[in-house]
Amino acid sequence: MDKMTHIQPPAPESGPNTAMRSILVIDDDKLMCMALAKILMSAGYSVVQAFDGDEGLKLYRAQNFDLVITDLIMPDKEGIQIIRELRKENSQIRIIAMSAGGRGGATDYLKWARLMGAKQCLSKPIKREDLLGAVEAVLALS
């Protein structure tokens, strides 16, 4: 199965701020990644999915995204490493970090993500309105 999927959104249900905004979603949990993509597409965003950190970084380097949403706990390359590398390449990048936790709990991981440069942090499971609210808030930042 292909590691990444590009999905074009249907007509937006939200305002003009969502039109043609591109979002990269990185999560090794394929069902979560697809669920987030579906929510974002229904709001009118263009979404590209990566199912591991290395693939996410490759996609980011190949395409200009308005926002990156990354899980923090993944095999191979964790979200904190992804945030660090992305911020090194582009200090203005907009990132949302998400986590269900792990041994340290979601709160600890999300604190680290915020310190590393994530603009918003979300604990899984993520409600539709929380996701869209975070995306709109981060995209509104200059």
Q: Report the domain count for the chain.
A: 1
Exposure string (b/e) for 94-127, b if CB count within 10 Å is 16 or more? Answer: bbbbbbbeeeeebeebbebbeebbbbbbbebebe
Q: How confident is the model at residue 11, as a pLDDT?
A: 44
CATH of the domain at 43: 3.40.50.2300
Check residue 38 and give its pLDDT: 98
User: How confident is the prediction along the chain (142 residues), in pLDDT tens digits per residue?
Assistant: 455 555 544 444 444 455 579 999 999 999 999 999 999 999 999 999 999 999 999 999 999 899 999 999 998 899 999 999 999 999 999 999 999 875 556 678 889 999 999 999 999 999 999 999 999 999 998 6
Contact 48, 33 (CB under 8 A): no
Per-residue pLDDT, 100: 86
pTM comes to 0.85
Given the DSSP bridges, would you call strands 46-50 and 95-99 parallel, antiparallel or unpaired?
A: unpaired
DSSP codes, 35-55: HHHHHHHHTT-EEEEESSHHH
Cα 47 to chain centroid, rounded:
10
pLDDT of residue 19: 55
Nearest 5°: the CA angle 107, 108, 111 is 85
The predicted pLDDT at position 106 comes to 60
Structural domain including 115 reads 4-139
